Structure 1
Amino acid sequence: MPGARHCPSLPLLILFALLLGVLAAPARAALVLHDDSPPEDLHGRVDYLADPAGRLQLPALLARPEVFRSSATRRDLGFGYVHGAIWLRLQVESAASQARDWRLEIAYPSLDRVDLYDVGADGVRHSQAGDMLPFAQRSVGNRNPVFDLHLQPGERRTLYLRASSEGSMTLGATLYSRTAHEQHSLQGYVVQALYGGTLLALGCYNLLLFLALRERPFFYYVLFVGVFAIGILGLNGFGAQFLWPQAGWWTNRALPFGISAAAAIGILFARSFLDTRQWLPRGDRWLRLAFVIVAGCALATLLLPVQLALQTMSVSGIAMCLSLLATAFVCLKNRVPGAGIFALAWSMLLGGALLLALRNFALIPSNFFTIYAMQIGSSLEMILLSFALAARFNELKRQKEQALQQHEKQLEQRVAERTEALEDANQRLRGLAMKDPLTGLANRTALQAQLELAIRRSHRRQELLAVMLIDLDGFKPINDQHGHALGDQVLAEIARRLQKCARETDLPARLGGDEFVLVCETVSSPEQAEQVALRILEQLRRPIELEQLSVQVGASIGIVLSCGEDSGTLLIRRADAAMYVAKAAGRNRVQLHESSPA
């Protein structure tokens, strides 16, 4: 049989005597295996014997077969946390038409050491497995303890299975034909790979979100997934097979450390995600203390005896889940964003952790759901937490949009107030004939009055005020060549274009001749003022079509900025100075006065 070996150390006479004792002793009916036998669950089929001291040897058991007890009286083959070793005995008989290979599997990867003694007429075959055995030395390369059996037609053999482990002694065993086991094993690997792929995908996705958004909950989530994956790799046997196959000290520490450290990081995630510092100050202080305690438990799992470390993991994990669940319900009551999904997610993980812990203590049966409870609960929990993070991101986006809308409403209100003020001012201007009769813009008197009001508003609100003095370039030749009437039409068109470029809150005015002024309130920066001036300059450069005649003028614009500290006269004088600098620099350009604030 591949992977098994005979035990040459037993003297042949003693071995034959022991075998005769076995044959003479009453025995359970053998498990008969046919060509088409389906997978056989061995609960109720095997006999068991507890060996608390771990000193029993095969010869002693062969000599005293009556010490075994039937497993039919037990709920299952889960023995919980026990000291020493557990022996299982099974008789098998082949009724197949030809020699066939079978496989015996114990569906629990975390067993430290499992030895199979296959006793038959030809002697004893010894096979070994377990996660504390280097992977290369296992009789069958599999994440679970698996053993090959080879039976000739009509052959009867007695199997003695010795298991010892610092962790939970879960010995649920199944006998398969070799082909059936290969299919079953492949399915198990695929399921575990899908679970691992899910964790990897969720971790990478939220890592990218963290790098993009720099939101701390995403970082804690990635840490939680990564550390939790270490514990799961220790639980499902993938770590011992692929990452630490030499079966060193870390093999028995990965599970308790990974789960306990994930519990500590889960507390940090909860504090950040639920913002307990703001919404639940007292609870936040308790969570800080809980983090210190659980982090201490995680470090202790590296030093405590393995069995105590696993029990510490179970207790601290369940206590942490209960604490976070209680915190989530309190936050849900206080209408904290995302608390509902958070509570549901941790309920999933708590259910899985609770089932795993109860199974480890042999308080509930060991089956598919209790063995894989942690994986099932954690996958649901992490998917829900990922949804919760997405929901939180959407909530933050919604809050920002609300803030932006509120700001826009305030801006609209202020614009409305200024529009109303301007309307009142315009009414007063109309009543006092303060408009320029040619262009319809405010005249010099109206400009001076409105500019003083704008200066006071700028000072009160601490906002920038821009005064632009616009002097036309190339207007005098038009007047000289085509007359003042056509020149007046040009000025009227220039005024219309200036009004078109101005905002509702701006005040365009004619200072006199071919000089115009634009007063702009609520200017955010010098750059914005320059952009407005450049837009005006572009509009004024466009050809003017008048009476089948096309003319074109330019402009030199001087800008001065103020926060309301200067008088209107001084601002116009400085804008005028900046305008002359623009003319000296080549005309048709914009110049900001040097004394303007940055």
Structure 2
Amino acid sequence: MISKSPIALSGQLNRWDYLVKSVPHMFTELTLSAVNSYASRAIIWLGMLSFTLAAQATPLVIDPAIPSYMLANHVDILEDREGKLTIADIAQGAHDGAFRPAVAQGSSLKNNALNFGYSSSAWWLRVTADNPEAVQNRMMLEIAYPTLDRVEFYAPVKDGWLKLQAGDLLPFAARPVVHRNLVFPLQLSGGTQQFYLRVQSLGSVTVPLQLWQADAFESYNQRSYVALALYFGMLLALMAYNLLLYLSLRERAYLVYVFFVTTLAIGLLSLSGMGNQFLWPDWTTWGNIALPFGFCMAGLFGTLFTRVFLDTAKTAPRHHKVLVALGWLFVVTGVAALSLPYQYSAAVVSLLGMVTPIVVISSGIIGLRRGHPGARYFLLAWTLLMIGVSTQGIRNVGWLPTNMFTLHAIQIGSALEMLLLSFALADRINVVRRERDLAQAKLIEAMGERLDVMMSVIPDIVFYKDRSGVFLGCNKAFEALSGHTENEIVGKTDFDLVPREKALYFREQDEAMLESGKPRRNEEWVPTADGRSILLEMVKTPLYGTQGEPIGLIGIGRDITERYRGIELERVRNRIFELLASGAEMSDILTQIIDYVEQSRSGLLCSILQLDETGKFLLPGAAPHLPEAYNQAVSNVPIGEGTGSCGTAVFRNERVIVEDIRTHPYWTPYPEILELAEQAGLISCWSEPIRSSKGEVLGTFAIYRRQTGAPEESDIDLIQQASHLASIAIERKRAEDLIWQQANYDAVTNLPNRRLFRDRLEQELLKTHRDGQSLALLFIDLDRFKEVNDTLGHDIGDLLLIEAAQRIRNCVREADTVARIGGDEFTVILPQLDDINRVEQVAEKIVDILAMPFALREEAAFVSASIGITLYPDDAEDAENLLKNADQAMYVAKNKGRNCFSYFTGQMQEHAQHRLHLIRDLRNALPGNQLHLYFQPIVDLRDGRIVKAEALIRWQHPERGLVSPMEFIPIAEEIGMINDIGNWVFREAAGWMKRWHGQRYSCAQVSVNKSPSQFFTESSHGVWLKHLREIGLPGECIVIEITEGVLLDKRADVTKKLLQFRDAGVQVAIDDFGTGYSALSYLKKFDIDYLKIDRSFVRDLATDPNDLALSEAIIVMAHKLGLKVVAEGVETAEQRDILSAAGCDYAQGYLYAKPMPAKEFDALLASGSPLKS
């Protein structure tokens, strides 16, 4: 290998095909390649057609004085289509006849490039050189087309042929001369000699041949190195410069341009051979695809730069779409170039390179027409590139002489293009700056105009003063405040516009601010032109001259009067709530409101009147600054049309304005009030109704003035605010009073409830203990009230409670306390007892008055009272125990027969403890299986057979033994267990009846008692009927026993439930008939099946004619109504006979059998034995 001088950075740029490859955007490659290919081939085939005249090309004569030789006209060529010929085959001479001149005789190829187009053949080139001198010449053979795949050079040597090879598919280090182009050393001795080249490439086979004297080649190489260094150095500088611009400005166009130059440089480096030499000498694969890939990416970023720089989306929308499409085609081609054969990707790149410049330049023309500021530079840059391409193309065809410009026209054109584009990008900064400055200037001008407009319309006052306090200017708001125009204000001081005292204050504030040099904020009350005073939030700031000296001040003030009043209003509101929370008097709360209004407006006097409970008169609420005589005179003012300002305002529920009370018809009917008003100097009166949150009138807020006139809008706002505050206070106070009333008083009787009663009892005990006196507590329970409530309804029950409360109050002193502590229970506190006998007198009086009939609407009711009495400190020393003792004493009174009173004793305490234990144990009786079901037979009086039975309950207490139902049933009703117990009894009874029905025993029905509380429980009713359906027991097997009180209840669901029983087949019996209220119409109204004569009538049948008459009457009446009769409590044969003779149907009692456990009764039925009577 022969090493040479420093390597140049670019290839020979004077070759026609090299020109085509080096065009940055490759838009002429196909055209120029075609022209070159056709021209070369025409000359070559011309030579082949004239082979009879010349068998070989003209030999090259070597002249040492000539530095280089263009060899195209001295080359013979041979096409090896199969590529199998070797130098040995050629050297034997067997193929000499196949060689033909590359250029026909008489013709010449001025561009020195043999172009065989895209060919897969191997091409043999033969050059004959004649060296007349006997001295050897050292020469260099250059093929200035570095993209050929493989070139083999053969030179004759003593023992045969010297073979050298190079190409872009071979490692760069294997080249005989380290050079960007394909260079082979040649030693020419004296005489004639031949050397051969074998060329093969997948791309365009272009062979620009030039033979150099060694010294001349060295000089040429150095010059081209400098030119290429300058060229690629310029590209590098442009990339760095625009990258820095991008990093500074973050403008996308700069970054796109950097990528454009970078990818273009990659393509040019590959085309010039510089890439193979310096960047990828050992990467032959990349060296083969770098050219099409680099130019594809350059095309992509070139089209993208055009779009961004010219903003084609706006300036040329159609071209924009084409550019986008070209960009994507470049992307696809670039990706394909990584895997497709070189010739295909190069062909596509050439085609795109022909179309792209046309679209780019036409986009620039459109941008120029539409006034794009950078379009002229853009268009000029691409024009210069095209001039460079055209110039070198024309030179290559021999139409222009070869000189420095024509030789490097493409480099010069592309360099100028990139310089101009960089200048355009730089100018873009100036354009943007100019546009920004122009926009800012317009904005400042517009802002100045807007400022003038704003200064004239803003509600805040603005003024300017010099250091002496002389006004220099102001806005419209200040003009309105002062009542003067700006021309009148300028040149004056505060002393010319406001009172001297206020002007002195303003001057002190200004001088203090100017001395400090800092803005000052403060609040100032300022008089207005219309005589009012407003509160301004004033900010005054120093104004400085060009030397930084203070020359005056600017003041900006905002009217915050309403905000101040809002704060004051909130303060008053909070104060009202504080007073309400602390339980202050209403007059004190309303006075706070009046003070707020009178302080907000000078010269006002206010009054608040409240509507009385009847809604017919106004009562004084608060008027702290009106004469007392006047306040007394307007007290109890009636509500009505024309009854003064306030009475009329409440009557109309709207504001009433009287501008002069002295002549107004609302005031003339009240000369005394009018005279007092005139004495107080009151001339006009504005009255505003005080309304609740629901719109109800609560009173009136009146404002008096000492001059005539109507209120302004701000006055009306103030009146409304004040009346709203008053409504809050009045309504909240009433609500609190109502809450306290509800919390401490019974809603029905309006008596103190349990809570207030306990509080008063505690207070009375403390007072009694302190005074060393005695106190009595009466516990009153209304007897049979529950029956009245159940039968006549709750409305009647409430009327009875109200009447009872009033009767009890009439029996005690004013200082005594009567309370209702729940249900039908009342208490009476008798404090300060001097005579213990008074307690008994009060108790007797209460018992007597409550025993009197109660006429309640159309009904008459009878109750009595059971009263328990306990004494302090004899019986207990605290309220809790006193109440317990009184309660126990009350139960003793009940057990004594009711309608009486009883004093507490020690035995009562034991009874109470027993009762508490019984309640506790009863809660465990049902889950503990302590309750048992008993049955008492009901017999047919005609034959004595058992046909029915009544289900009864017994409690087998584990410690006390058998507990009577008379003892625990009332307790069960009291503690709410009666429903659970009743349901249990029904299920058990139905279960036994199911057995007897299935066994066809004589007992065909079972009677089950249903108390009123159970009857009116919806769930219990449904549960019973559902249970019958579940066990499959016919309803006819069940009789439900109810009291007369249930039928007398006026609730609608009584009929409904009785009908449900009837529909289910269940029969109904009236228990204890004749002992309740005498309202027999219900027997006709309701579907009843049986009447049970109470044992109290049966007991004395034989001795008491009245009982006999009543019993007979019941039997006759029942039969007339189609009812059956059952007599209870039959204990003697005589009673049985009388009842049988009277026609009674059934009997029940100890004569036949006592109640017996269910199993015993079951055995009795199973035996079929008749009962003995």
Q: Tell me if both proteins adopt one fold, taking TM over 0.5 as the criterion.
A: yes
Task: Report the CA distance between 1:260 and its aligned residue.
Answer: 1.1
> What residue number does 1:162 align with?
198
- Counterpart of 1:101 in 2: which secondary structure? strand
Provide the TM-score with structure 1 as the length reference: 0.67
AA aligned opposite 1:83: S
CA distance in 2, matches of 1:226, 1:166: 27
Which has the higher mean CA deviation after the structures are superposed, 55-64 or 165-174? 55-64
Tell me, in whole angstroms, the C-alpha distance in 1 between the residues paired with 2:561 and 2:439.
36
Match 1:280 to one of 306, 316, 336: 316
1:526 matched residue in structure 2: none
Relative distance call for 1:381 and 1:78 in structure 2 (3 A) is farther
The residue identity in structure 2 corresponding to 1:129 is A
Which structure 1 residue ranges, 5 or more long, are not aligned? 4-24, 455-483, 503-508, 521-531, 543-556, 575-598
Distance 2:417 2:325 in 1: 24
Residues 56, 373 of structure 1: alpha-carbon distance in 2 compared, 3 angstrom cutoff: farther
SS of residue paired to 2:204: coil
Say if 1:420 and 1:155 are closer, same or farther in 2 by CA, change over 3 A: same
Aligned length: 474
Q: Which residue of 2 aligns with 1:22?
A: none
Paired residue type of 1:44: N
Cα distance in structure 2, aligned partners of 1:334 and 1:317 = 26
Indicate yes or no: 2:118 matched with 1:81.
Answer: yes
The equivalent of 1:148 in structure 2 is: 185
CA distance in 1 between partners of 2:118 and 2:401 (Å): 13
Query: How far is 1:121 from its partner?
Result: 5.2
Q: What is the alpha-carbon distance in structure 2 between the residues aligned to residue 535 and residue 412 of structure 1? A: 20
* Structure 1 match to 2:96: 65
How far apart, in 2, do the equivalents of 1:216 and 1:453 lie? 56
CA distances 1:359-405 after superposition (whole Å, capped 9, x unpaired): 99x99999999996654443232122112212222111111011011
CA distance in 1, matches of 2:476, 2:55: 121
Which residue matches 2:72? 43
Asked if structure 2 preserves the Cα contact closer than 8 Å seen for 1:133 and 1:247, the reply is no
Displacement after TM superposition at 1:347 (Å): 3.6
3-state SS of paired residue (1:231): helix
Report Cα offsets for 1:42-96 as digits up to 9, x if no partner: 1212222333433332233331223222233363433132222222211223344
Larger radius of gyration: 2
Q: Is the 8 A contact 2:456 2:477 kept in 1?
A: no
- Alignment-derived partner of residue 380 in structure 2: 344
Code of the residue aligned with 2:123 in structure 1: it is I
What's 1:294 paired with?
330
The one-letter code of the counterpart of 2:352 is S
| DSSP-derived class of the 1:141 partner | coil
Query: Structure 1 residues 150 and 411 mapped into 2: Cα distance closer, same or farther (>3 Å)?
Result: same
Aligned residue for 2:259, secondary structure, equals: helix
Q: 1:317 to 1:510 in 2, by over 3 A?
A: farther
Q: CA deviation at 1:500?
A: 11
Superposed, 1:214-253 pairs within 5 Å as 214-253=250-289
Q: Which residue pairs with 2:1117 in the alignment?
A: none
Q: Which residue of 2 aligns with 1:473?
A: none
Structure 1 228/203 Cα, relative in aligned 2: closer, same or farther at 3 Å?
same
**Cα shift at 1:337:** 2.4
Shift of 1:437: 13
Deviates more, 1:379-388 or 1:261-270: 379-388
Query: What residue is the counterpart of 1:567 in the other structure?
Result: 560
1:132/1:247 contact within 8 Å kept: no
Task: Report if aligned partners of 1:129, 1:140 keep a CA contact under 8 Å in 2.
Answer: no
Once the two structures are TM-superposed, the CA of residue 332 in structure 1 deviates from its matched residue by 1.9
Match of 1:116 in 2: 153
1:71–1:77 CA contact under 8 A, matched in 2: no
1:554 maps to what in 2?
none
Contact 1:436–1:510 (CA under 8 A) maintained in structure 2: no
| Cα separation, 2, equivalents of 1:84 and 1:351 | 36
Structure ranking higher in helix proportion: 1
Once the two structures are superposed, the pairs formed by residues 32-431 of structure 1 within 5 Å of their partners are 32-62=61-91, 63=93, 64-73=95-104, 75=109, 76-79=112-115, 80-96=117-133, 98-120=135-157, 122-152=159-189, 154-349=190-385, 375-417=411-453
Report if the CA contact (8 A) 1:442-1:510 is conserved.
no
Is the aligned partner of 1:450 residue 2:478?
Answer: yes
Report % sequence identity.
Answer: 35
Structure 1 residues 570 and 413: CA distance shift in structure 2, 3 A: same
Shift in alpha-carbon separation, 1:496–1:307, aligned structure 2, 3 A: same
Q: Secondary structure at the match of 1:323?
A: helix
Structure 2, unmatched stretches of 5+, are 4-53, 483-500, 528-535, 568-1173
Q: Secondary structure at the match of 1:156?
A: strand
Greater RCO, 1 or 2 (C-alpha within 8 Å, sep 6+): 1
CA distance in 2, matches of 1:326, 1:447: 58
Q: Give the corresponding residue for 1:587.
A: none
Preserved contact between residue 113 and residue 164 of structure 1 (Cα < 8 Å)? yes
Greater Cα offset, 192-201 or 58-67: 58-67
Which digits, 9 at most, give the CA deviation of each residue in 1:313-363, with x for residues without a partner?
111122122222222222222222212222232344456678999999x99
Q: Which amino acid aligns with 2:69?
A: E
Distance 1:119 1:47 in 2: 17
Letter in 1 for 2:100: R
1:44 alignment partner, SS class: helix
C-alpha change, 1:206 and 1:359, in structure 2 (3 Å) is: same
Task: State the alpha-carbon separation in 1 of the partners of residues 193 and 283 from structure 2.
Answer: 31
Q: Provide the C-alpha distance between the structure 2 equivalents of 1:226 and 1:72, rounded to a whole number of angstroms.
A: 40
From the superposition, tell whether residues 334 and 68 of structure 1 become closer, same or farther in structure 2 (CA, over 3 Å).
same
* d(CA) in 2 for partners of 1:175, 1:327: 45
**Cα contact 2:539–2:556 (8 A) shared by 1:** no
Hey, what's the Cα distance between the residues in 2 that align with 1:237 and 1:284?
Answer: 35
Q: Partners of 1:560 and 1:356 in 2: how far apart?
A: 76
- Deviation per CA, 1:444-464: give whole Å up to 9, x if none: xx999529889xxxxxxxxxx
- Relative distance call for 1:169 and 1:363 in structure 2 (3 A) is farther
What one-letter code is carried by the residue in structure 2 that aligns with 1:58? I
Q: Distance in 1 between matches of 2:263 and 2:275?
A: 13
Cross-structure match for 2:511? 494
SS in 2 for 1:341: helix
Change (3 A) 1:414 1:71: same
- Name the aligned partner's letter for residue 61 of structure 2: V
Q: Which amino acid aligns with 1:101?
A: R
Deviates more, 1:411-420 or 1:82-91: 411-420
Distance 1:172 1:381 in 2: 28
> Is the 1:39–1:174 contact (alpha carbons within 8 Å) kept by the matching residues of 2?
yes
Mapping 1:495-510, distance limit 5 Å: none
- Residues 543-554 of structure 1 aligned to structure 2 (within 5 Å): none
CA distance in structure 1 between the partners assigned to 2:465 and 2:160 by the alignment: 121
Deviation at 1:420, TM superposition (A): 7.9
Per the alignment, residue 591 of structure 2 pairs with: none
**Contact 1:439 1:495 (8 Å CA) reproduced:** no
Alignment of 1:16-35 (within 5 A): 30-35=59-64
The Cα offsets for residues 157-192 of structure 1, whole Å up to 9 and x where unpaired, read as 211011122222221111111111111112222222
Provide the residue aligned with 2:991 in structure 1: none
Cα distance in 1 between the residues matched to 2:90 and 2:177: 25
In 2: Cα distance, 1:511 partner to 1:419 partner: 20
Distance (whole Å) between structure 2 residues aligned to residue 414 and residue 297 of structure 1: 58
1:207 touches 1:218 (CA, 8 Å); kept in 2?
A: yes
CA offset at residue 143 of structure 1?
A: 0.6
